[in-house]
Amino acid sequence: MAKVFLNGEIVDEGDARVPITDRGLVFADAVYEVVRVYRGEPFLWREHMERMERGARFLEIPLPFGPEELREYALELIELNECDLGVVYIQLTRGPAPRLHRFPERVRPTTFMFTQEVARPDRELVRRGVDLVTIPDVRWGLCEVKTVGLLPNVLGKEEAAKRGAFDALFVRDGVITEGTSSNFFAVRDGRLITHPVDNILPGVTRAKVLEIAGGLGLEVQERGLRIDELRACDEAFLTGTVLEVMPVRSVDGIELGPPGALTRRLLEEYEGLIEA
Ligand code: PDD
């Protein structure tokens, strides 16, 4: 049986118990991270921990474990579960308490982690690009916080699949914000365009890609792209921990063509980081 981490202990998954009054379960009062594992090593661990710390600070949930301590446990889990290629899922909840909305006075936060095998993105998809549809961004106003309240994302992905698409893009006031579990980039006249970190998730992969783009001397516009501007775009791609850099072939039937030169360049550089 797979091993998991719960509040400082590594136990069999079947023995990991969390009270049903845990606020993560009852109120989605929790933050989480999904960290990639390549060759048994967590990828961009520090960046993920920094985002989790920011989220926890915002929600006033004290962190029971430091980033280094958690990394040691994560490495132990990866080894015990022989998870060479996959993800480590980490969740921090406010903890169990009587069901009252206000923050409880005395509460012990719940921290848990598990590993999951996840393959690299399908090579064929990366080669031809994915088809997306747009859906209204019905989420709340604090999308910078990586909380586990993911129903709009779950419903969005479900709708995309039912419409025969790979995934969905959220659209707010005619502007593309991000994917259901990824950030969105477009390329127009040689410039990269991506939504600013304003009520979207500040993706770790997004930040890496922006760093790479900076190093390549590419011009970047952090602004919202209107859906009616898509026809004028030359390329588009998604970024995310699991998807890495995924070329987009079409959005709502608007063809963007096979992966463009800039997308391929950024993909190559990102894969270089993974290999390193
Ligand atoms: N999701 N936007 C949203 C809404 C996300 O849920 C994610 C990640 C991203 C990309 O962020 P990053 O590059 O840090 O993975 C953007 C994770 C993978 C998930 O919920 O499975």
**Structure confidence by residue, pLDDT tens digits, 120-129:** 999 999 999 9
pLDDT of residue 222: 98
Across the strands, what pairs with 114?
89
Is ligand 1 within 6 A of the CB of residue 34?
yes
Candidate of 51, 185, 201 to mutate for ligand 1, largest count of ligand atoms within 8 Å of Cβ: 201
pLDDT score of 271 more than 90: yes
Q: List the alpha helices (DSSP H) in 60-194.
A: 67-80, 123-128, 151-162
Ligand 1 center–CA 130 separation, angstroms = 17
pLDDT score of 51 more than 90: yes
pLDDT of residue 257: 84
Mean pLDDT of 9-32: 98
Q: Is the dihedral of CA 17, 21, 23, 25 positive or negative?
A: positive
Nearest atom of ligand 1 to the alpha carbon of 33: 17
Compute the distance between CA of residue 94 and CA of residue 107 in angstroms, rounded to an integer. 7
pLDDT of residue 200: 98
Ligand 1 center–CA 62 separation, angstroms = 23
Q: In the chain, which ranges are E strands?
A: 3-6, 9-12, 30-38, 41-42, 86-93, 110-117, 130-136, 167-172, 175-179, 183-188, 191-194, 220-222, 225-226, 235-240, 244-251, 254-255
Compute the distance between CA of residue 274 and CA of residue 252 in angstroms, rounded to an integer. 31
**Structure confidence by residue, pLDDT tens digits, 94-118:** 999 999 999 999 999 999 999 999 9
Residues labelled catalytic: 146
Mean pLDDT of 156-184: 98
Ligand 1 center–CA 181 separation, angstroms = 4
pLDDT of residue 8: 98
Mean pLDDT of 124-152: 98
Compute the distance between CA of residue 52 and CA of residue 31 in angstroms, rounded to an integer. 7
Compute the distance between CA of residue 224 and CA of residue 153 in angstroms, rounded to an integer. 19
**Structure confidence by residue, pLDDT tens digits, 177-220:** 999 999 999 999 999 999 999 999 999 999 999 999 999 999 99
* Token representation of residue 163: 């419409």
Is ligand 1 within 6 A of the CB of residue 83?
no
Q: How high does pLDDT run on average in the chain?
A: 97
Buried b (16+ CB within 10 A) or exposed e, 145-159: bbbbebebbeebbee
Instruction: Band the pLDDT of 273: cuts 50, 70, 90.
Output: very high
Taking CA atoms, 6 is separated from 13, 59, 97, 207, 210, in Å, by 9, 21, 17, 30, 35
Is ligand 1 within 6 A of the CB of residue 243?
no
pLDDT score of 10 more than 90: yes
Mean pLDDT of 48-59: 98
